[in-house]
Amino acid sequence: MRAISYAAASEPVRPEELTGLDFHRDLADRYLAIEGLEARWIPIHREGLRPDKETALRLHHLLSLTRAVEESLDSAFRAGHIPGTAFFGRGNEASSVGSAACLRDEEWLVPMHRNCGAHLAKGHPPYSIMAHFFGRADGPSQGRDGNFHVGYRPKRITQLISHIGTMVPIAAGVAWSAKVRRNGQAVLTHIGDGGTSTGDFHEAMNFAAVQKLPLVVVIDNNQYAYKTPPSDQYACPTLALRAPGYGMPGFLIDGTDVLVVREVVSQALDRARRGGGPALIESVSMRLSGHSVYDRYADYADMEKLKLWERERDPVKRYDQFLVEYEVLTPEEIAASHARARAEAEAARDQALKCPFPDPGKVADGVFAE
């Protein structure tokens, strides 16, 4: 049974109905699907999104682990264990987990720097992430880089560079090789609201559409690009409206509901795997912490709005509530899952803090592949 479906869609939305969208209010029980020039609101029937117990536990573990890993990293930063700076994705957990959990093992993930949950969902071990953040020898980059710039090749997760926007063309290239190899794989990438303003984003979307690539692009619109709100970033009511201009379907969804994210992304991935081409999904959340650990959020953010989202759209709390309300898990099972995630993150952190630093004598090793 598919609760979210075109069959249940409303009449086409007139463009003027989209002006002045309030993401908190307008995405509460529906999402927007744009196909061709027609946009429709699709109602969400939560009962239909109810996962089986095993899936529910897995998603819960991943959401909770994402929160726990980032909180452990944050406290490790405060204790002086992270060189440089650190960027986290608090508030973005559902978008990261719900999307990457749809990927098959052999498929590639091209994440951005706030997608800790996507790394975990794809199988990047917390110890490896922690060792990387601490600049230690066991991190995948062996101390050469920091933050979620890291990839994890054993699980087909690419690295990224700080130049936001750059990764969308790279993701298109990964999807291009899947297409010419005809291996039936799709590629998932994430980009932020700020990243959509770059030329690279446009070049990649255009290329993906022209080449009909198996690529699903999730825009994690967390309503701030460093200190810049959407109103200074773009003028369209939703970034999903760009999709028909490129010649691909677009979606605007509540990115704080892991089940909605999972549903829409899995449909888009399936379509891509079948040769249906790329899709653009704007997944809205709220960045619940500063841009980086050094950022003073209160200097520029609308703190009332932020508190509202924190209260009502915290992805971890939301999923807890759903599971209880729909009687998928008991409060005891949920508490136990949180405790497990916390313990796993802390064990990984403690172990990573014991990992040696890389050998300074090898500073210039590995510049070239032999």
Partner 1 sequence: MSLITYREALSAALWEEMERDENVFLIGEDIGLGGGAFYVTKGFQQRFGRDRVVDAPLSEAGFTGAAIGAALTGMRPVVEYQFADFVTETFKMIVDFAAGNHYRRMGPVPIVFRLPAAALVSGGPYHSQNPEIWFFGTPGLKIAAPATAYDAKGMLKQAIRDDNPVIFIEYKKFYSYRPEDLPAPLRIEVPEGDYTVPFGQARTLREGEDLTLLTFGTTVLEALEAAQVLESEGVSVEVIDLRTLVPLDKEAILASVRKTGKLLILHEARKRGGVGGELAAIVAEEVFEHLDAPIRRVGAAESPVPLSPPLEKAYLPSTAKVVEALRELAAF
Q: In the complex, which residues of this chain contact partner 1 (CB under 8 A)?
A: 108, 110, 140-142, 144-145, 149-151, 153, 158-159, 161-163, 166-180, 199-200, 202-204, 206-207, 210-211, 366-370
Residue 172 Cβ vs partner 1, minimum distance, rounded to whole Å: 5
Sign of CA dihedral 356, 362, 363, 368: negative
The set of residues, in sequence order, having a beta carbon less than 8 Å from that of 73 and lying 6+ positions away, is 82, 86, 88, 129, 130, 133, 349
Looking at the Cβ atoms of 175 and 241, the one nearer to partner 1 is 175
Alpha carbon distance 327, 165 (integer Å): 41
| Strands 30-35 and 38-43, bridge-based pairing | antiparallel
Q: Left (φ > 0), alpha (ψ -120 to 50) or beta: where does 289 sit? A: beta
Residues 270 and 279 sit within 8 Å (Cβ to Cβ):
no
Residue 193 Cβ vs partner 1, minimum distance, rounded to whole Å: 20
Task: Report phi then psi at 62, rounded to 5.
Answer: -65, -45
Q: Which two tokens stand for residue 101?
A: 């959990």
Residue 202 Cβ vs partner 1, minimum distance, rounded to whole Å: 8
Residue 228 Cβ vs partner 1, minimum distance, rounded to whole Å: 20
Q: Which residue has the tokens 């093992």?
A: 105
Looking at the Cβ atoms of 29 and 106, the one nearer to partner 1 is 106
Looking at the Cβ atoms of 1 and 367, the one nearer to partner 1 is 367
CA distances (Å), origin 232, targets 26, 51, 181, 236:
21, 39, 41, 11
Looking at the Cβ atoms of 201 and 322, the one nearer to partner 1 is 201
Looking at the Cβ atoms of 176 and 322, the one nearer to partner 1 is 176
Looking at the Cβ atoms of 177 and 330, the one nearer to partner 1 is 177
Q: Give the 3-state secondary structure of residue 185.
A: coil
- How many helices and strands, by DSSP H and E, does the chain display? 13, 7
Looking at the Cβ atoms of 22 and 368, the one nearer to partner 1 is 368
Task: Count the neighbouring beta carbons within 10 Å of the beta carbon of residue 71.
Answer: 16
Task: Report phi then psi at 22, rounded to 5.
Answer: -110, 110
Looking at the Cβ atoms of 161 and 339, the one nearer to partner 1 is 161
Residue 19 Cβ vs partner 1, minimum distance, rounded to whole Å: 31
Residue 370 Cβ vs partner 1, minimum distance, rounded to whole Å: 8
Residue 113 Cβ vs partner 1, minimum distance, rounded to whole Å: 14
Q: 306-311: which pairs have CB atoms within 8 A and are 24 or more residues apart?
A: 308/24, 309/24, 309/91, 309/256, 309/285, 310/91, 310/286
Residue 270 Cβ vs partner 1, minimum distance, rounded to whole Å: 21
